[in-house]
Chain A
Amino acid sequence: MSAVEQEDNSNQNRRITWEGCSVLLDINDGDRLVFSRLTAGSIVKIGNKNYPLRPLIGCPFGSLFQVENGANGPSLARIISTAADNNAEDKKECDIKEESRDNRALIDNNTAQTLTGEDIEGMRRQGASGNAIVEALIANSATFENKTSFSQEKYRLKKQKKYAPKVLLRRPFARSICDTYFKKYPARIGFLRVDTLSLLLSFANVSAHSDVLVVDMIGGLITGAVAERLGGTGYVCNTYRGDSPYSIEIVRIFNFNDEINKRIVRLSLDELSNNGDWKEDEMMLQSANDSNVDNPSSNQSDVVLESLSLEVGSMEESVASKVYKAVKPGEKAPQDAIKSWKENGFSSLIIAAPDVDAWSIVKEVLPFLSFSAPFVIYHQYLQPLATCMHNLQVEKMAIGLQITEPWLREYQVLPSRTHPHMQMSACGGYILSGTKICNEKSTTTTQ
């Protein structure tokens, strides 16, 4: 291992997996995405077989695995690609440039394939690899030779996905987590698309050493994404109305170390608005009460993370609890931080609350920002933001107000076949951004 890699392991940016680490498994090139935790006993189910995840521990993120059915049952084995493979693949792509074949002679009567399901099962029993089955299918296909090379490639890929699935080991980062949720459970993250999330972080000027106030009612995605950018400095403070903080279960999918988790805190709006000086004994009482209702979100999160990994099978409880003995994210904000926020204000604000009126939140939390602090509000609907923007203008609370809607389109780029994807997400939500100003109400306006 090089010095560079060792250096990496000491900080948050670890590029090699470890026991207990959270991972994103990308099965067959994005066809299926599964969050999981690498433990001695965890598994992933592909097709009708369970594959232990143990071989993934200690591998670099970005490694590719293929399934094998050896003597000890189904297993995942790492694919070590070589430079030669790369060039071969590249060659294939280039060959497709000129094409004379077409599908005029193709008759769809289901007789092209001479290999039966029983034949394939027989090959499997004899221990044939997935790739061998794919080759056999191609050899026994009457129409394969007459297909265009593009559809030959498509055919091969389709069979490969079924008989020789591949698993890509990916890092759970804000980007991949948001992408995965948007694909699998968009409602849980308020239909927040990844480009929209990236804009929220920019508009809110999230950077190391900043104190970011968030109203995160989309499962902790905002909280996690902000904490990732803070890298164990500053604070992300999740504020809430009432007695119970909002769930931040998604934060657990990020591989945050103690330093970062310590910077993820919560504070109720009541406590934030409390103007009186804090007496020492009151504080003690407060924290005693808090530990009773401590973090209802963490109870909830077990449920959710488990439901996420249902596909993966049950998690090893003992290992999971060992991992979480460390600092929990979402503890109550420390007193010195609260004191500092009350005196100086937060450096920025992000709101993502799908079910609460934007204006009613903003007018309550905006006073806790420093002057000149940027803020940003996300909503999947336009109207609440339009009303909110209008009210902020009328009240002269902010300048630089703007509602924006991002648009994201992906392209297929292939030799002679480049075009936008046929399907795209048509709405990634709306963003209201602005900057808080120091507004003396009495002054007359001349502009």
Chain B
Amino acid sequence: MLPTDPMKKLSFKRHISDGDLVIVYEKHDNMKAVKVSEKSVLENRFGVFKHSDWIGKPFGCKVCSHKGGFVYLLAPTPELWTLVLSHRTQILYIADISFVVMYLELIPGCVVLESGTGSGSLTTSLARAIAPTGHVYTFDFHEQRAIAAREDFEKTGLSDLVSVGVRDIQGEGFPKDLIGRADAVFLDLPQPWLAIPSAGEMLKEDGVLCSFSPCIEQVQRSSETLASNSFTDIRTFEVLLRTYEVREAKMDQCQTQTEEGTPGARPFKRKQRASEASHWQADNSGSPMVMARPSGEAKGHTGYLTFARLKCIA
């Protein structure tokens, strides 16, 4: 997924080859990750697609099924991966992910610790930010989940950047060999305050910690624990995204027969005239207009993001 090997990067017009991971795009809300295998086929409502037809085509191309239906084949990115990965847990989405990566000040070469791994949605973006020389150490207390995550990172080609450990961070803390090595720590745990003292030991001075919690009571308790564990600059945010629908339409013009082409006329005047002589006219002479409005439904809450910085005591 990431161009850790400069020769394989997207801008070198990679063509799809056997064994590649592709994102099959039907609609913006209907995508699927597929491992290309020469003898394999993909079946969906548009028909049967032979993988062998895909090999050699560029990423971003349109491919057809036996019935003539089509899908697009995209190169995987962490954003697309977040939309297609199998949910073993509740996952973080792009708004929270982006803000976390930015606030943790992650750049190539950084070492970042994460717990829990969950479905690996954030992990993928953490890996992108610290590649090619940094490392993500991610921990989950659930063994099956850790194994599944490891398989996913293998599939997306991130295994060199990510180490998945099975460990109860709330109970045991982070491993001692990581003490003082972390540029940043991310916690997504039910009782983050239990892990905060250990996180403080792992961080370099001035390193940043982020704790993601859905409930304000968790935030309350975490913030108190952070303040008593040499953290400063403790700030809590909520970040959401509103999406917009865009549509082109012709609108009826507001004109009367007595009044010719004076759209600038004062509204009260128009109203008066309309009652006497005319009505709103369906008028096709107006040019179509592109309009946008917020989508009807949106995520109203994901979680609170609490950030803090380890004090410089030295």
| Cα separation A202 to B216 with both chains bound (whole Å) | 27
CB-CB nearest in chain A for B183: A13
Which candidate, A77-85, A280-288, A322-330, is the interface stretch facing chain B? Answer: A77-85
Give the residues in chain B near A436, CB-CB below 8 Å: 60
Q: Which of B227, B246, B314 contacts A80 (CB 8 A)?
A: B314
Interface residues of A, dominant DSSP: mixed
Dominant SS at the B interface?
mixed
Find out whether the CB atom of A418 lies under 8 angstroms from the CB atom of B246.
Answer: no
User: Known contacts A4-B180, A202-B94, A372-B59; is A62 also within 8 Å of B309 by CB?
Assistant: yes
A175 touching B102 in the complex, CB below 8 Å, given contacts A402-B243, A446-B69: yes
Q: A residues within 8 A CB of B98? A: 195, 198-199, 201-202
**Would you call B101 and A400 a contact (CB within 8 A)?**
no
Binds A, one of B140-148, B228-236, B276-284: B228-236
Contact A402 B28 (CB under 8 A): yes
A194 touches B102 (CB 8 A): yes
**Residue on A nearest B304 in the bound complex, by CB:** A411
Partner of B60, one of A12, A373, A409, A411: A373
Across-interface contacts of B129 in A (CB, < 8 A): 207, 229
A347 pairs with B28, CB closer than 8 A: no
**Most A CB within 10 A of own CB, among B133, B206, B306:** B206
Let me know if B51 is at the binding interface, CB within 8 A: no
Contacts of A209 in B (CB 8 A): 2-4, 6, 9, 132
Contacts of A62 in B (CB 8 A): 205-206, 309-312
Residues of B within 8 A of A60 (CB): 205-206, 312, 314
Of B35-43, B165-173, B218-226, B250-258, the one with at least 4 CB within 8 A of chain A: B218-226
Known: A399-B25, A399-B28. A386 touches B239 (CB 8 A): no
Q: Which of A12, A175, A372, A440 has the most CB of B within 10 A?
A: A372
Q: Would you call A404 an interface residue if the criterion is a C-beta within 8 Å of the partner chain's C-beta atoms?
A: yes
**Contact across chains for B107 and A12 when beta carbons are under 8 A apart:** yes
Contact of A228 among B107, B220, B230, B311 (CB under 8 A): B107
Q: Answer yes or no: A114 CB below 8 A from chain B CBs.
A: no
Q: Is the CB of A341 within 8 A of B11?
A: yes
Q: Are B62 and A87 in contact (CB under 8 A)?
A: no
Identify which of residues 133-153 in chain A touch chain B, using a CB-to-CB cut-off of 8 Å.
none
Q: Number of B residues contacting the other chain (C-beta, 8 Å)?
A: 87
Instruction: Collect the chain B residues with CB atoms within 8 Å of residue A400's CB.
Output: 25, 28
A173-B105, A175-B105, A198-B98 are known contacts. Are A438 and B61 too (CB-CB below 8 A)? yes
Q: Is the CB of B206 within 8 A of A390?
A: no
Question: B60 near A207 (CB under 8 angstroms)?
Answer: no
Q: State the total of A-B contacts with C-beta under 8 angstroms.
A: 259
Q: How far is the CA of A86 from the CA of B229 in the complex (A)?
A: 8
Pairwise interchain contact A231-B107, C-beta atoms closer than 8 A: yes
Q: What 0/1 pattern do residues 231 to 249 of B give for CB contact below 8 A with A?
A: 0001111111111101010
Q: Which residue of A lies closest to B236 (CB)?
A: A411
Contact A418 B219 (CB under 8 A): yes
On whether the beta carbons of A406 and B10 are closer than 8 Å, the reply is no
Q: How near does chain B come to A139, taking the closest CB pair, in angstroms?
A: 27
Residues of A within 8 A of B206 (CB): 15, 60-62, 171
Of the residues B107, B306, B313, contact of A81 by C-beta under 8 Å: B313
A100 at the interface (CB under 8 A from B): no
> Is residue A367 contacting chain B, with contact meaning CB distance below 8 A?
no
Contact with B along A41-66 (1 / 0, CB 8 A): 00000000000000000001111100
Which of A13, A198, A347 sits near B101, CB closer than 8 Å? A198
Stretch in contact with the other chain, from B74-82, B185-193, B264-272: B74-82
Cβ-defined contact, B132 with A89, below 8 A:
no
CA distance A443 to B205 in the complex (A): 59
With a cutoff of 8 Å between Cβ atoms, the chain A residues found around residue B79 in the complex are 202-203, 205, 374
Task: Check if A299 is an interface residue, CB within 8 A of chain B.
Answer: no
Q: Is the CB of A15 within 8 A of B204?
A: yes
Chain B residues with CB under 8 A of A340: 11-12
Option from A80, A90, A231 in Cβ contact (under 8 Å) with B108 = A231
Contact of A411 among B95, B204, B237, B248 (CB under 8 A): B237
Determine how close the nearest CB of chain A comes to the CB of B9; give it in whole angstroms: 5
Which residues of B sit under 8 angstroms from A94, Cβ to Cβ? Answer: 224
Residue A208 CB within 8 A of the other chain: yes
Q: Is the CB of A233 within 8 A of B108?
A: yes
Cα of A70 to Cα of B135 in the assembled complex, Å: 47
* B66 located at the interface, meaning its Cβ lies under 8 Å from any Cβ of chain A in the complex: no
Cβ contacts A to B, 11 pairs, < 8 Å: A4-B181, A12-B109, A61-B312, A86-B229, A90-B224, A399-B72, A406-B239, A413-B219, A413-B234, A415-B224, A443-B62
What are the nearest 3 A-B pairs in CB distance? A231-B108, A371-B60, A62-B206
List 15 other contacts, CB 8 Å, given A194-B102, A208-B108, A409-B238: A15-B205, A93-B224, A194-B99, A207-B3, A207-B128, A210-B3, A210-B9, A343-B13, A344-B13, A386-B290, A402-B243, A413-B219, A438-B60, A446-B70, A447-B69
